[in-house]
């Protein structure tokens, strides 16, 4: 019986070529429910912020995943 819930987090920092002030950061947070060994459902959020050539920008992006395996 699988039925596990897992939390995943990830942080990424980026330095963009061309200018020292160009940078970006991403923070991922998600939760996955493993219903069976071959099927899981997940959802979460990605937060991004960065200094780009056109100025400072940020986003909050929701995520949703259905994953299954076929033998």
For residue 1, what are the CA distances in angstroms to 5, 24, 35, 39, 49? 13, 41, 9, 12, 40
Query: pLDDT for 24-58, tens place per residue?
Result: 999 999 999 999 889 999 999 999 999 887 889 99
Q: Which domain holds residue 17?
A: 4-68
Q: What is the mean pLDDT of residues 3-22?
A: 86
Percent of the chain with pLDDT over 70: 94
**What total number of domains does the chain contain?**
1
Nearest to 8 by CA among 38, 35, 33: 33
pLDDT exceeds 80 at position 20? no
What dihedral angle (degrees, nearest 10) is formed by the CA atoms of 31, 46, 27, 23? Answer: 160
State how far the Cα of 17 lies from the Cα of 6, in Å rounded to an integer: 36
């Amino acid at each position: 019986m699988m039925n596990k819930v897992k939390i995943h987090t990830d942080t990424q920092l980026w330095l963009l070529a061309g200018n020292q002030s160009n940078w970006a950061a991403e923070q991922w947070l998600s939760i996955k429910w493993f219903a069976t060994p071959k099927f899981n459902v997940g959802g979460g959020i990605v937060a991004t912020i960065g200094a780009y050539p056109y100025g400072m920008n940020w986003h909050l992006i929701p995520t949703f995943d259905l994953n299954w395996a076929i033998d």
